[in-house]
Chain A
Amino acid sequence: MQLVPCPWCGPREEAEFHYGGQAHVAHPADPHSLTDAQWADYVFFRDNPKGPFAERWLHAAGCRRWFNAVRDTATHEFVEPSGASR
Protein backbone atom coordinates (compact mmCIF):
# COMPACT_ATOMS: atom_id res chain seq x y z
CA MET A 1 0.00 0.00 0.00
CA GLN A 2 1.14 3.52 -0.76
CA LEU A 3 2.63 5.35 2.22
CA VAL A 4 1.53 8.94 2.81
CA PRO A 5 3.98 11.14 4.71
CA CYS A 6 2.11 12.74 7.61
CA PRO A 7 4.26 15.60 8.94
CA TRP A 8 3.40 14.65 12.54
CA CYS A 9 3.07 10.85 12.46
CA GLY A 10 5.53 9.97 9.70
CA PRO A 11 4.79 7.64 6.77
CA ARG A 12 1.47 5.83 7.24
CA GLU A 13 -0.72 3.70 4.99
CA GLU A 14 -2.95 5.49 2.48
CA ALA A 15 -6.11 3.92 3.92
CA GLU A 16 -5.68 6.08 7.06
CA PHE A 17 -6.06 9.28 5.05
CA HIS A 18 -8.83 11.32 3.51
CA TYR A 19 -8.02 13.22 0.33
CA GLY A 20 -8.73 16.94 0.21
CA GLY A 21 -7.96 17.90 -3.37
CA GLN A 22 -5.98 20.91 -4.56
CA ALA A 23 -4.20 22.94 -1.87
CA HIS A 24 -3.95 26.73 -1.59
CA VAL A 25 -7.45 27.48 -2.88
CA ALA A 26 -8.43 30.40 -0.67
CA HIS A 27 -12.05 31.26 0.07
CA PRO A 28 -12.78 34.55 -1.73
CA ALA A 29 -12.25 37.54 0.56
CA ASP A 30 -15.46 39.20 -0.66
CA PRO A 31 -17.73 36.56 -2.27
CA HIS A 32 -20.46 39.13 -3.06
CA SER A 33 -18.15 41.05 -5.38
CA LEU A 34 -17.46 37.99 -7.57
CA THR A 35 -18.90 37.57 -11.05
CA ASP A 36 -20.68 34.30 -11.85
CA ALA A 37 -17.58 33.15 -13.74
CA GLN A 38 -15.30 33.90 -10.79
CA TRP A 39 -17.65 32.12 -8.39
CA ALA A 40 -17.87 29.12 -10.74
CA ASP A 41 -14.09 29.03 -10.87
CA TYR A 42 -13.88 28.96 -7.08
CA VAL A 43 -16.62 26.34 -6.62
CA PHE A 44 -16.13 23.96 -9.55
CA PHE A 45 -12.75 24.44 -11.22
CA ARG A 46 -9.53 22.94 -9.89
CA ASP A 47 -6.16 22.32 -11.49
CA ASN A 48 -5.75 18.80 -12.90
CA PRO A 49 -2.08 18.54 -13.85
CA LYS A 50 -0.23 15.44 -14.97
CA GLY A 51 2.83 15.98 -12.80
CA PRO A 52 3.56 17.69 -9.46
CA PHE A 53 0.36 18.74 -7.68
CA ALA A 54 0.04 20.56 -4.35
CA GLU A 55 -2.84 18.95 -2.47
CA ARG A 56 -4.41 18.54 0.95
CA TRP A 57 -4.63 15.39 3.03
CA LEU A 58 -6.34 14.64 6.35
CA HIS A 59 -4.81 11.99 8.58
CA ALA A 60 -8.34 10.84 9.41
CA ALA A 61 -7.46 7.60 11.24
CA GLY A 62 -4.41 9.11 12.93
CA CYS A 63 -3.73 12.55 14.33
CA ARG A 64 -6.86 14.02 12.64
CA ARG A 65 -4.84 16.96 11.28
CA TRP A 66 -4.81 18.44 7.78
CA PHE A 67 -1.56 19.01 5.91
CA ASN A 68 -0.33 19.94 2.45
CA ALA A 69 1.85 17.76 0.25
CA VAL A 70 3.21 17.80 -3.29
CA ARG A 71 2.65 14.55 -5.19
CA ASP A 72 3.38 13.66 -8.79
CA THR A 73 0.03 12.58 -10.27
CA ALA A 74 1.77 10.68 -13.09
CA THR A 75 3.70 8.40 -10.72
CA HIS A 76 1.69 8.88 -7.47
CA GLU A 77 5.02 9.62 -5.72
CA PHE A 78 5.24 12.27 -3.01
CA VAL A 79 7.97 14.59 -4.26
CA GLU A 80 8.32 17.14 -1.45
CA PRO A 81 8.19 16.81 2.32
CA SER A 82 4.72 17.52 3.67
CA GLY A 83 4.02 20.84 5.34
CA ALA A 84 1.62 22.00 8.02
CA SER A 85 -1.92 23.09 7.22
CA ARG A 86 -2.19 26.77 6.54
Chain B
Amino acid sequence: MNVDHPDFLWRNPDPRPSYDAVIIGGGGHGLATAHYLAKNHGITRVAVLEKGWLAGGNMARNTTIIRSNYLWDESAAIYEHALKLWEGLEEDLGYPLLFSQRGVLNLAHSLQDVRDSRRRVWANQLNGVDAEWLEPEQVAEVCPIVNISPDVRYPVLGATYQPRAGIAKHDYVAWGFARSADAHGIDLIQNCEVTGLEVRDGRMVGVRTTRGRIATGKVALAAAGHTSVLADMVGLRLPLQSHPLQALVSELLEPVHPTVVMSNAVHVYVSQAHKGELVMGAGIDSHNGYGQRGAFHIIERQMAAALELFPVFARAHLLRSWAGIVDVTPDASPIVGLTPIDGLYLNCGWGTGGFKATPAVGWCLAHTVAHDRPHPFNAPFTLERFTTGALVDEHGAAAVAH
Protein backbone atom coordinates (compact mmCIF):
# COMPACT_ATOMS: atom_id res chain seq x y z
CA MET B 1 0.00 0.00 0.00
CA ASN B 2 1.32 3.38 -0.96
CA VAL B 3 0.56 6.09 1.61
CA ASP B 4 1.82 9.63 1.08
CA HIS B 5 3.11 11.48 4.10
CA PRO B 6 0.88 14.52 4.75
CA ASP B 7 2.49 17.90 4.16
CA PHE B 8 4.80 19.05 6.93
CA LEU B 9 3.38 22.06 8.78
CA TRP B 10 6.78 23.61 9.50
CA ARG B 11 10.45 23.30 8.53
CA ASN B 12 12.94 21.95 11.06
CA PRO B 13 15.76 24.49 10.70
CA ASP B 14 19.11 24.73 12.45
CA PRO B 15 19.55 27.87 14.54
CA ARG B 16 21.12 30.87 12.82
CA PRO B 17 23.88 32.84 14.62
CA SER B 18 21.63 35.78 15.36
CA TYR B 19 17.99 36.88 15.43
CA ASP B 20 16.11 40.12 16.11
CA ALA B 21 14.17 38.32 18.82
CA VAL B 22 14.22 34.93 20.51
CA ILE B 23 11.22 33.34 22.20
CA ILE B 24 12.07 30.68 24.78
CA GLY B 25 9.37 28.03 24.89
CA GLY B 26 7.65 26.43 21.89
CA GLY B 27 4.26 25.93 23.49
CA GLY B 28 1.04 27.73 22.71
CA HIS B 29 2.16 31.05 24.16
CA GLY B 30 5.53 31.06 22.40
CA LEU B 31 4.06 30.03 19.04
CA ALA B 32 1.22 32.56 19.29
CA THR B 33 3.76 35.28 20.10
CA ALA B 34 5.74 34.31 17.00
CA HIS B 35 2.58 34.44 14.86
CA TYR B 36 1.60 37.93 16.04
CA LEU B 37 5.19 39.26 15.88
CA ALA B 38 5.06 38.46 12.18
CA LYS B 39 1.43 39.31 11.48
CA ASN B 40 0.95 42.46 13.58
CA HIS B 41 4.49 43.88 13.63
CA GLY B 42 6.28 42.48 10.58
CA ILE B 43 9.08 41.08 12.73
CA THR B 44 10.17 37.76 11.25
CA ARG B 45 13.88 37.37 12.06
CA VAL B 46 12.72 35.42 15.08
CA ALA B 47 13.49 32.03 16.59
CA VAL B 48 11.30 30.00 18.91
CA LEU B 49 13.53 27.73 21.02
CA GLU B 50 11.98 24.57 22.42
CA LYS B 51 13.93 22.16 24.62
CA GLY B 52 11.67 19.24 23.73
CA TRP B 53 9.16 19.09 20.89
CA LEU B 54 6.67 21.78 19.92
CA ALA B 55 3.68 21.99 22.25
CA GLY B 56 4.77 19.01 24.32
CA GLY B 57 4.59 20.72 27.72
CA ASN B 58 1.50 22.27 29.24
CA MET B 59 0.05 22.79 25.76
CA ALA B 60 -0.25 19.00 25.52
CA ARG B 61 -1.49 18.61 29.09
CA ASN B 62 -4.19 21.19 29.72
CA THR B 63 -7.95 20.62 29.69
CA THR B 64 -8.54 23.13 26.83
CA ILE B 65 -11.19 25.22 28.58
CA ILE B 66 -11.72 28.69 27.10
CA ARG B 67 -13.71 31.37 28.98
CA SER B 68 -13.42 35.02 29.98
CA ASN B 69 -15.64 35.28 33.07
CA TYR B 70 -13.03 36.77 35.39
CA LEU B 71 -13.89 39.28 38.12
CA TRP B 72 -11.68 42.32 37.76
CA ASP B 73 -11.60 44.81 34.87
CA GLU B 74 -7.94 44.07 34.09
CA SER B 75 -8.57 40.33 33.77
CA ALA B 76 -11.87 40.69 31.92
CA ALA B 77 -10.11 42.89 29.36
CA ILE B 78 -7.29 40.47 28.50
CA TYR B 79 -9.34 37.25 28.69
CA GLU B 80 -12.21 38.76 26.69
CA HIS B 81 -9.69 39.96 24.10
CA ALA B 82 -8.49 36.35 23.96
CA LEU B 83 -12.04 35.03 23.53
CA LYS B 84 -12.72 37.49 20.69
CA LEU B 85 -9.50 36.37 19.00
CA TRP B 86 -10.54 32.72 19.47
CA GLU B 87 -13.81 33.53 17.68
CA GLY B 88 -11.87 34.49 14.54
CA LEU B 89 -8.81 32.31 14.95
CA GLU B 90 -9.64 29.45 12.56
CA GLU B 91 -10.09 32.03 9.82
CA ASP B 92 -6.95 33.96 10.83
CA LEU B 93 -4.77 30.83 10.86
CA GLY B 94 -6.54 29.09 7.99
CA TYR B 95 -6.54 25.97 10.10
CA PRO B 96 -9.30 23.98 11.85
CA LEU B 97 -9.11 24.22 15.66
CA LEU B 98 -12.31 22.38 16.67
CA PHE B 99 -13.22 25.55 18.58
CA SER B 100 -16.61 24.80 20.10
CA GLN B 101 -18.51 27.46 22.04
CA ARG B 102 -20.51 25.06 24.16
CA GLY B 103 -20.60 27.29 27.26
CA VAL B 104 -19.24 26.91 30.76
CA LEU B 105 -21.07 26.45 34.05
CA ASN B 106 -19.24 27.47 37.24
CA LEU B 107 -21.19 25.79 40.03
CA ALA B 108 -21.95 27.31 43.43
CA HIS B 109 -22.25 24.96 46.40
CA SER B 110 -22.54 27.29 49.39
CA LEU B 111 -24.26 30.60 50.15
CA GLN B 112 -20.89 32.35 49.94
CA ASP B 113 -20.31 30.70 46.55
CA VAL B 114 -23.72 32.05 45.47
CA ARG B 115 -22.90 35.59 46.59
CA ASP B 116 -19.45 35.54 44.97
CA SER B 117 -20.80 34.04 41.77
CA ARG B 118 -23.64 36.54 41.39
CA ARG B 119 -21.18 39.38 42.03
CA ARG B 120 -18.93 37.97 39.31
CA VAL B 121 -21.85 37.73 36.88
CA TRP B 122 -22.67 41.42 37.46
CA ALA B 123 -19.01 42.39 37.10
CA ASN B 124 -18.85 40.39 33.84
CA GLN B 125 -21.97 42.08 32.49
CA LEU B 126 -20.56 45.54 33.26
CA ASN B 127 -17.42 44.54 31.32
CA GLY B 128 -19.38 43.32 28.30
CA VAL B 129 -18.65 39.67 29.04
CA ASP B 130 -21.65 37.39 28.48
CA ALA B 131 -22.65 35.92 31.82
CA GLU B 132 -25.82 34.95 33.59
CA TRP B 133 -26.83 33.43 36.89
CA LEU B 134 -28.71 30.11 36.68
CA GLU B 135 -30.84 28.49 39.37
CA PRO B 136 -30.36 24.72 39.85
CA GLU B 137 -33.28 23.81 37.54
CA GLN B 138 -31.78 26.00 34.81
CA VAL B 139 -28.40 24.30 35.36
CA ALA B 140 -30.10 20.98 34.65
CA GLU B 141 -31.61 22.41 31.46
CA VAL B 142 -28.14 23.35 30.17
CA CYS B 143 -26.49 20.15 31.40
CA PRO B 144 -29.01 17.38 32.21
CA ILE B 145 -26.39 15.01 33.66
CA VAL B 146 -25.45 17.31 36.55
CA ASN B 147 -26.91 16.03 39.80
CA ILE B 148 -28.95 18.91 41.29
CA SER B 149 -30.41 16.79 44.08
CA PRO B 150 -30.43 18.65 47.44
CA ASP B 151 -29.41 15.44 49.22
CA VAL B 152 -25.72 15.40 48.32
CA ARG B 153 -22.88 16.61 50.53
CA TYR B 154 -22.31 19.76 48.45
CA PRO B 155 -25.60 20.45 46.66
CA VAL B 156 -25.65 22.59 43.52
CA LEU B 157 -27.20 25.92 44.57
CA GLY B 158 -26.84 27.48 41.13
CA ALA B 159 -24.17 28.40 38.63
CA THR B 160 -22.75 31.17 36.54
CA TYR B 161 -23.10 30.50 32.83
CA GLN B 162 -21.01 31.94 30.01
CA PRO B 163 -22.50 30.70 26.72
CA ARG B 164 -19.59 31.91 24.54
CA ALA B 165 -17.07 29.85 26.51
CA GLY B 166 -15.98 26.46 25.22
CA ILE B 167 -13.11 24.20 24.26
CA ALA B 168 -10.67 23.81 21.37
CA LYS B 169 -8.33 21.06 20.21
CA HIS B 170 -5.04 22.02 21.88
CA ASP B 171 -2.74 20.29 19.36
CA TYR B 172 -4.47 21.93 16.41
CA VAL B 173 -4.12 25.33 18.09
CA ALA B 174 -0.37 24.85 18.47
CA TRP B 175 0.00 23.47 14.95
CA GLY B 176 -2.03 26.33 13.48
CA PHE B 177 0.15 28.96 15.14
CA ALA B 178 3.32 27.02 14.29
CA ARG B 179 2.37 26.67 10.62
CA SER B 180 1.64 30.39 10.36
CA ALA B 181 4.86 31.43 12.12
CA ASP B 182 6.89 29.12 9.92
CA ALA B 183 5.20 30.42 6.78
CA HIS B 184 6.25 33.94 7.79
CA GLY B 185 9.88 32.73 7.93
CA ILE B 186 10.20 32.34 11.70
CA ASP B 187 12.49 29.49 12.77
CA LEU B 188 10.92 26.93 15.12
CA ILE B 189 13.88 25.12 16.67
CA GLN B 190 13.21 21.96 18.63
CA ASN B 191 15.51 19.95 20.90
CA CYS B 192 17.24 23.22 21.73
CA GLU B 193 17.54 23.88 25.46
CA VAL B 194 18.61 27.27 26.72
CA THR B 195 21.57 26.91 29.09
CA GLY B 196 22.43 30.56 29.68
CA LEU B 197 21.19 34.12 29.17
CA GLU B 198 23.86 36.69 28.28
CA VAL B 199 23.47 40.18 29.71
CA ARG B 200 25.92 43.03 29.11
CA ASP B 201 25.52 46.44 30.79
CA GLY B 202 21.97 45.60 31.78
CA ARG B 203 20.94 44.57 28.26
CA MET B 204 20.23 41.18 26.73
CA VAL B 205 22.85 40.29 24.14
CA GLY B 206 22.35 36.60 23.54
CA VAL B 207 21.35 33.15 24.67
CA ARG B 208 23.46 30.02 25.04
CA THR B 209 21.80 26.79 23.98
CA THR B 210 22.56 23.12 23.56
CA ARG B 211 22.73 23.91 19.82
CA GLY B 212 25.16 26.84 20.11
CA ARG B 213 25.16 30.52 20.98
CA ILE B 214 22.56 32.84 19.46
CA ALA B 215 23.05 36.61 19.48
CA THR B 216 19.89 38.62 20.09
CA GLY B 217 18.87 41.82 21.84
CA LYS B 218 15.36 40.66 22.70
CA VAL B 219 14.38 37.55 24.62
CA ALA B 220 10.80 36.68 25.55
CA LEU B 221 10.21 33.98 28.15
CA ALA B 222 7.27 31.66 27.47
CA ALA B 223 8.43 28.71 29.52
CA ALA B 224 5.53 28.33 32.01
CA GLY B 225 6.61 26.11 34.91
CA HIS B 226 10.32 26.47 34.08
CA THR B 227 10.35 30.29 34.06
CA SER B 228 12.04 30.46 37.48
CA VAL B 229 14.86 28.24 36.21
CA LEU B 230 15.50 30.65 33.30
CA ALA B 231 15.15 33.79 35.45
CA ASP B 232 17.66 32.34 37.92
CA MET B 233 20.25 32.43 35.11
CA VAL B 234 20.24 36.24 35.33
CA GLY B 235 19.53 36.50 39.06
CA LEU B 236 15.95 37.69 38.50
CA ARG B 237 13.75 36.69 41.42
CA LEU B 238 10.08 36.06 40.60
CA PRO B 239 7.04 35.49 42.83
CA LEU B 240 6.36 32.09 41.27
CA GLN B 241 5.96 28.61 42.69
CA SER B 242 5.95 25.65 40.29
CA HIS B 243 3.47 22.90 41.08
CA PRO B 244 2.30 19.72 39.37
CA LEU B 245 -1.26 20.02 38.04
CA GLN B 246 -2.97 16.78 37.10
CA ALA B 247 -5.64 15.91 34.59
CA LEU B 248 -7.09 12.71 33.20
CA VAL B 249 -9.32 11.28 30.50
CA SER B 250 -11.82 8.45 30.33
CA GLU B 251 -12.09 6.05 27.43
CA LEU B 252 -14.12 7.19 24.40
CA LEU B 253 -17.83 7.52 25.21
CA GLU B 254 -20.96 8.49 23.32
CA PRO B 255 -21.69 12.23 23.53
CA VAL B 256 -23.25 12.73 26.95
CA HIS B 257 -21.87 16.04 28.25
CA PRO B 258 -23.01 19.09 26.26
CA THR B 259 -21.05 21.87 27.97
CA VAL B 260 -18.13 22.53 30.36
CA VAL B 261 -18.74 22.24 34.11
CA MET B 262 -16.38 23.61 36.74
CA SER B 263 -16.72 23.52 40.49
CA ASN B 264 -14.45 25.44 42.83
CA ALA B 265 -15.80 23.87 45.98
CA VAL B 266 -15.40 20.22 45.06
CA HIS B 267 -12.33 20.78 42.86
CA VAL B 268 -13.13 19.31 39.50
CA TYR B 269 -13.77 20.52 35.98
CA VAL B 270 -15.15 18.37 33.20
CA SER B 271 -15.82 18.56 29.50
CA GLN B 272 -16.14 15.96 26.77
CA ALA B 273 -13.69 16.12 23.88
CA HIS B 274 -14.95 15.86 20.31
CA LYS B 275 -13.49 12.38 20.08
CA GLY B 276 -15.49 11.29 23.12
CA GLU B 277 -13.16 11.25 26.12
CA LEU B 278 -14.34 12.89 29.31
CA VAL B 279 -11.56 15.36 30.14
CA MET B 280 -11.21 16.21 33.81
CA GLY B 281 -8.83 18.44 35.70
CA ALA B 282 -7.91 18.48 39.36
CA GLY B 283 -6.43 20.95 41.80
CA ILE B 284 -2.68 21.40 42.01
CA ASP B 285 -0.54 19.11 44.13
CA SER B 286 0.24 21.28 47.16
CA HIS B 287 4.03 20.85 47.10
CA ASN B 288 6.44 22.48 44.67
CA GLY B 289 7.47 20.08 41.94
CA TYR B 290 9.05 19.96 38.50
CA GLY B 291 8.34 16.27 37.93
CA GLN B 292 5.48 15.98 35.43
CA ARG B 293 3.47 13.71 37.69
CA GLY B 294 1.40 14.08 40.83
CA ALA B 295 0.06 12.09 43.74
CA PHE B 296 -2.76 9.59 43.33
CA HIS B 297 -4.83 10.86 46.26
CA ILE B 298 -5.43 14.05 44.25
CA ILE B 299 -6.92 11.97 41.41
CA GLU B 300 -8.94 9.95 43.91
CA ARG B 301 -10.54 13.07 45.41
CA GLN B 302 -11.15 14.51 41.97
CA MET B 303 -12.97 11.30 40.95
CA ALA B 304 -15.06 11.42 44.12
CA ALA B 305 -16.07 14.99 43.30
CA ALA B 306 -16.84 14.13 39.69
CA LEU B 307 -19.01 11.17 40.69
CA GLU B 308 -21.02 13.24 43.12
CA LEU B 309 -21.73 15.83 40.45
CA PHE B 310 -22.17 13.29 37.63
CA PRO B 311 -23.52 9.94 38.90
CA VAL B 312 -23.73 8.84 35.24
CA PHE B 313 -19.91 8.62 35.14
CA ALA B 314 -19.87 5.81 37.72
CA ARG B 315 -18.98 3.11 35.20
CA ALA B 316 -16.63 5.16 33.03
CA HIS B 317 -13.04 3.97 33.05
CA LEU B 318 -10.05 6.17 33.63
CA LEU B 319 -7.81 5.77 30.60
CA ARG B 320 -4.77 7.79 31.61
CA SER B 321 -3.68 10.63 33.87
CA TRP B 322 -0.73 12.99 33.70
CA ALA B 323 0.58 16.26 35.10
CA GLY B 324 1.98 19.51 33.78
CA ILE B 325 4.07 22.02 35.72
CA VAL B 326 2.22 25.24 36.42
CA ASP B 327 3.78 28.46 37.70
CA VAL B 328 1.47 29.99 40.27
CA THR B 329 1.56 33.62 41.47
CA PRO B 330 0.34 34.93 44.82
CA ASP B 331 -2.69 36.70 43.26
CA ALA B 332 -3.58 34.03 40.67
CA SER B 333 -2.92 36.51 37.84
CA PRO B 334 -0.12 36.35 35.28
CA ILE B 335 3.01 38.47 34.93
CA VAL B 336 3.43 39.78 31.37
CA GLY B 337 5.77 42.63 30.61
CA LEU B 338 9.15 44.22 31.14
CA THR B 339 11.93 43.27 33.54
CA PRO B 340 14.81 45.24 35.08
CA ILE B 341 16.96 43.86 32.21
CA ASP B 342 16.53 45.69 28.89
CA GLY B 343 15.34 43.33 26.18
CA LEU B 344 14.18 40.58 28.56
CA TYR B 345 10.39 40.15 28.55
CA LEU B 346 8.34 38.08 30.95
CA ASN B 347 5.31 35.95 30.25
CA CYS B 348 4.66 33.70 33.21
CA GLY B 349 2.47 33.07 36.20
CA TRP B 350 -0.51 31.89 34.17
CA GLY B 351 -0.73 29.10 36.68
CA THR B 352 -3.56 26.74 35.92
CA GLY B 353 -5.31 28.82 33.27
CA GLY B 354 -2.97 29.83 30.47
CA PHE B 355 -4.51 27.92 27.56
CA LYS B 356 -7.60 30.11 27.26
CA ALA B 357 -5.39 33.20 27.07
CA THR B 358 -3.13 31.85 24.30
CA PRO B 359 -4.08 34.25 21.47
CA ALA B 360 -4.16 37.30 23.78
CA VAL B 361 -0.77 36.37 25.24
CA GLY B 362 0.66 36.17 21.75
CA TRP B 363 -0.98 39.49 20.82
CA CYS B 364 0.23 41.33 23.96
CA LEU B 365 3.68 39.78 24.30
CA ALA B 366 4.41 40.43 20.62
CA HIS B 367 3.40 44.07 21.16
CA THR B 368 5.61 44.28 24.27
CA VAL B 369 8.60 42.83 22.41
CA ALA B 370 8.07 44.95 19.29
CA HIS B 371 7.57 48.29 21.08
CA ASP B 372 9.54 47.69 24.27
CA ARG B 373 6.46 48.63 26.29
CA PRO B 374 3.38 46.67 27.35
CA HIS B 375 0.14 46.59 25.42
CA PRO B 376 -2.70 48.21 27.42
CA PHE B 377 -4.15 44.73 28.04
CA ASN B 378 -1.01 43.44 29.79
CA ALA B 379 0.05 46.76 31.35
CA PRO B 380 -1.62 45.94 34.71
CA PHE B 381 0.14 42.56 34.94
CA THR B 382 3.56 43.86 35.93
CA LEU B 383 6.19 42.34 38.16
CA GLU B 384 6.15 45.60 40.16
CA ARG B 385 2.58 45.05 41.36
CA PHE B 386 3.85 42.75 44.10
CA THR B 387 5.81 45.70 45.50
CA THR B 388 3.26 48.46 44.87
CA GLY B 389 0.38 46.32 46.11
CA ALA B 390 -1.71 46.75 42.94
CA LEU B 391 -2.57 43.05 42.86
CA VAL B 392 -5.22 41.58 40.57
CA ASP B 393 -6.70 38.98 42.89
CA GLU B 394 -8.44 36.38 40.75
CA HIS B 395 -8.53 33.52 43.23
CA GLY B 396 -12.32 33.49 42.94
CA ALA B 397 -12.41 33.13 39.16
CA ALA B 398 -9.26 31.04 38.80
CA ALA B 399 -9.48 29.01 41.95
CA VAL B 400 -10.76 25.64 40.82
CA ALA B 401 -7.24 24.40 40.52
CA HIS B 402 -5.34 26.70 42.87
Contact = CB atoms under 8 A, between A and B. Distances in A.
Interface residues of B, number: 26
Nearest to A57: B287
Contacts of A74: 290-291
B291 A76 contact: yes
A9 interface: no
Contact of B288 (A2, A18, A37, A73): A73
Interface residues of A, number: 26
A30 interface: no
A7 B330 CA distance: 30
Interface in A48-82: 48-50, 53, 55, 71, 73-76
Contacts of A76: 287, 289, 291, 293
Contacts of B330: 43-44
Contacts of A71: 287
Contacts of A55: 287-288
A48 B242 contact: yes
A46 B287 CA distance: 13
A53 B291 CA distance: 14
A83 interface: no
Interface of A: 1-2, 13-15, 18-19, 21, 36-37, 40-41, 43-46, 48-50, 53, 55, 71, 73-76
Interface of B: 226, 228-229, 232, 237-242, 286-291, 293, 295-297, 327, 330, 386-389
27 contacts: A1-B296, A14-B295, A19-B287, A37-B387, A40-B386, A43-B386, A44-B239, A44-B386, A45-B238, A46-B239, A46-B241, A48-B228, A48-B327, A49-B228, A49-B232, A50-B229, A50-B242, A53-B288, A55-B287, A55-B288, A73-B242, A73-B288, A73-B289, A73-B290, A73-B291, A74-B290, A76-B291
